[in-house]
Amino acid sequence: MENNQQAQSSSYPPQAPAPPPPFHHLLQQQQQQLQMFWSYQRQEIEHVNDFKNHQLPLARIKKIMKADEDVRMISAEAPILFAKACELFILELTIRSWLHAEENKRRTLQKNDIAAAITRTDIFDFLVDIVPRDEIKDEAGLGGIVGTTASGVPYYYPPMGQPAGPPGGMIIGRPAVDPSGVYVQPPSQAWQSVWQTAAEDGSYGSGGNSGQGNLDGQS
Amino acid sequence: MGETEKVVPEAEELPKAIVRRVVKDELSRCSHDGDISIHKDALLAFSESARIFIHYLSATANDICKESKRQIISADDVFKALEETEYSEFVRPLKASLEEFRKKNAGKRAGASKEKDGKKKRKLEDEASDKDEGGDDDK
């Protein structure tokens, strides 16, 4: 190796008596690279992170199921399914609650975000009773209806008497319209990330499709 | 001993830490620019909602099971319940999880079939046992 400084300019010359400014600059560069490296690694890990780490305790799940006296015997496989279903459910609820927080420009998820998610989503209808009425308020005067779009089909809120956008109540993939002009990308990415992670993990098949179930918009 | 008094415990809840982790991980996927925090009440709402979801789904699966005149809620009952409650999107990932679980168990069983044989019958019909693993199912 010659004293040739052309090679590997990013590594600082260990012995060269470099004057402070360039050295500092190189260090900064390195730090930046390191940061990028770790951020990428983290993304990779999260990307590959399948749901294994989140395993809800099966015994607890069983107890919850059996709190219903009607439920008697459960196969050994059932709690596994319930644990996973529960986790997926929480993911759904999280995303939708987060959307509401985003709409209101908050970086803290609050109870009323969850209330909003429940109110807006048909498949969460079974939760409607646990939401206190005073939680269902919209901040910033958004009202119950997002502005009508060109096609009149809202993304989030089913206005009175009109069905929600995609059938099935679960919106997977790209929303058809974008009421505010802001949320087209983030929601679809957020949705796709849930199912795509699964897809790329190899164990779940292709990502989710919309169009499941029947239309149940009149709630 | 006196009369049998039925003590109604507070509803079992899902462990907060795990619920919190599930939520936080998803939030960090949703929002790439900084952390979203979770208000304490929001976390409770998540746990509560998930708990009720379990009830909702098990009641549905239970009905389906009873309709077929069976006693034990099977994996298939759960899948049917998901369809019925319009959570069919969950079916595919759940089937994959089930496959994994079955494979893992098959491996375990192969290695320890003799000692499991005696215990299997007891584990299969679950009553009040509080094992974390849920046992293995011979299907």
Mean pLDDT lowest for which of A142-156, B70-84, B91-105?
Answer: A142-156
Cβ contact (<8 Å) for A84 and B59?
A: no
Q: Give tens-digit pLDDT for B12-49.
A: 899 999 999 999 999 999 888 888 999 999 999 999 99
The residues spanned by each domain of chain B are 13-86
Cβ contact (<8 Å) for A193 and B14?
A: no
Cβ contact (<8 Å) for A122 and B23?
A: no
Report pTM: 0.58
Mean pLDDT lowest for which of A89-103, A180-194, B109-123?
Answer: A180-194
Asked if the model's pLDDT at residue A214 lies above 80, the reply is: no
Q: Give tens-digit pLDDT for A89-98.
A: 999 999 999 9
Side-chain half-sphere CA neighbours of B82 within 13 A? 23
pLDDT at A146: 44
What b/e sequence results for A60-97 when a residue is b if at least 16 CB atoms lie within 10 Å of its CB, and e otherwise?
bbbbbbbbeeebbbbbbbbbbbbbbbbbbbbbbbbbbb
Range ranked top by mean pLDDT from A22-31, A114-123, B9-18 = A114-123
Which positions 65-104 of B are in contact with A (Cβ < 8 Å)? 71-75, 77-79, 82, 85-90, 92-94, 96-102
Please give the CATH number for the structural domain made up of B13-86: 1.10.20.10
CA distance B2 to chain A (A): 24
**Contacts for B32 with CB less than 8 Å, ≥ 6 apart:** none
ipTM of the complex: 0.76
Nearest partner of A158 among A184, A122, A134, judged by Cα: A122
Please state, rounded to an integer, the average pLDDT across all residues of chain B: 83
What is the C-alpha separation between B42 and A113, in angstroms, rounded? 8
Asked if the model's pLDDT at residue B7 lies above 80, the reply is: no
pLDDT at B122: 58
Range ranked top by mean pLDDT from A9-23, A44-58, B78-92 = B78-92
pLDDT band at B108 (very low <50, low <70, confident <90, very high): confident
Asked if the model's pLDDT at residue B6 lies above 60, the reply is: yes
Region A198-202 average pLDDT: 42
Transcribe chain A into DSSP letters: --S-TTTTTTS--SSS---HHHHHHHHHHHHHHHHHHHHHHHHHHHHH--GGGG---HHHHHHHHHTSTT--EE-TTHHHHHHHHHHHHHHHHHHHHHHHHHHTT-SEE-HHHHHHHHHH-GGGGGGGGGS-GGG---GGG--SSPPP-SSS--SS---TTS--SSTTS---SS-S--SSSSSSHHHHHHHHHHHHHHHHHTSS-S---S--S------
Q: Does B46 touch chain A (CB under 8 A)?
A: yes
Q: Read off the tokens for B81.
A: 């319940």
Cβ contact (<8 Å) for B52 and A85?
A: no
pLDDT at A19: 58
Nearest partner of B18 among B9, B10, B26, judged by Cα: B26
